[in-house]
Structure 1
Amino acid sequence: MKVIKATEINKPAALRILYAAPGMGKTSTLQYMPGRKLIIDLDGTSSVLSNKPDIDIVTLDDPYNPRESLPKLLKEIKDKHLDEYDSIALDNISELENAVLTEYGKKGNNNGVPGIQNYQQLQFFELDMIRYMKNWNKNIVITAWEQTDDFATESGQTFTRAYPQIRKPILSNVMGLALQVGRLQVSAKTGKRGIILTPSNAVFAKNQLDQREFCLQEDLFKEGDDNVSAEILPDEPS
């Protein structure tokens, strides 16, 4: 039995989930990742990073066959290019889900509609992909669109709850694999983009990297208990 003392545990590279409504600035946040960056563009929004330094962008060679082309790309990154980058982003997993389900539907026998078993296959595909990337020991960011629902507490209070657009059966599992889950929004008070890092009844979030409850967009990757942005966020949830 190999025993590791808690005092000897090295700080792991961070896996982050960043989510927001379309157009809020998820992709532009990726420019602030540390070091040399590789963006896996799945939703065609990487043009917002034009002329930014230290960023390379790759796309799937066959976007209509993501179940084969994404694992092939990830393996090529791991085997040939992993040492070239400090940070890697998958942008975004919500579009990946849509693309995979579309592929299943086109190749199935249900008039383009994916079958029940395809949703389960998608979920295992996603989790395998995330675990594979997490083991690279790099700064990994996975972006997602935001979705909402109405949530009632035991006391009868009702909240509009925001969370990443990831299949609900695996949402908790995905968030459990990440060290940080942040919701990006624009402050109605200041107009600045900020990220909520602490959970509430209205927001799915998580922060196991430091003590910050929220931060400015450009400060997300500046870890540290003393790095709290007091001028922004959170707006009161509706």
Structure 2
Amino acid sequence: MLKLNNYDFEVGKLFKKAPKTIDIRLTHVHDPSVDLETKEMAVFILSGKYQTLAYAHYVLEEFDKVKNYLEKSAIFAYLSGFDPELKNVLGDWNIQHRINLVILFGDVATKQKLKTVGWSLPADNIMHQACYLYDHLLIKIGTGQVLSQNEIQTALTEAKNTKDKDVQQYILPLIEAINALTMVEQALWKASIEKVITWHKDACKLGDYKEDKQGTMSLNALTMAKLGKDMHGWQCKTESLYLPLYLIND
């Protein structure tokens, strides 16, 4: 069993109850007689449940079972984060794993929806403008859109001027990785991924991911690795349990 942080998946309980929960919530999604509020809750729960199952199998070192659940989670990640009717109002930080799930594991149709949805957040849901700008850059580059140097530099400047440790050590390197992808600077791309993984590892030991299932793997870093591979044929060499490169190398 992998020891990634202190989150307890309670795998016995999870594996026993998850199939029933999934069946009930899938029925809610597909039943036209079910009210919208119930459907909103259903897609939110389904996204989380599939992702939790994936992470639990990863921790148990049942690596061949992980990707299937992440692929199942991707469509509901989109619906719960972006669908005009079914989305839950999230923040600039907790929307990221949904964006990454779609980019990494979503099908072509779901990625196209993310590309054209025109997503935004109300001001009250934006903790850091730098993070919000990164979210938009991530959606664009992850769905094949061309980024201008102006919007990248705006995000870089905002991140550099934000007096927050997590923005400086995590969001800034992610924006730098995107800049490296657009400028075709492989060394900067590699260094940025290393910084993201260092932050993630520390967050799992002492920070916000210590008791959080999202600490299981760094989806942001995995997306940067995938984009480097897809766009330029670069192979990420960063070795970390938080960066399961086998998921993008099949």
TM-score by length of 1: 0.31
Q: Using CA pairs under 8 Å that are at least 6 residues apart, name the structure with larger relative contact order, 1 or 2.
A: 1
TM-score by length of 2: 0.30
From the two aligned structures, give the one with the greater strand fraction: 1
From the two aligned structures, give the one with the greater helix fraction: 2
Larger Rg over CA atoms? 1
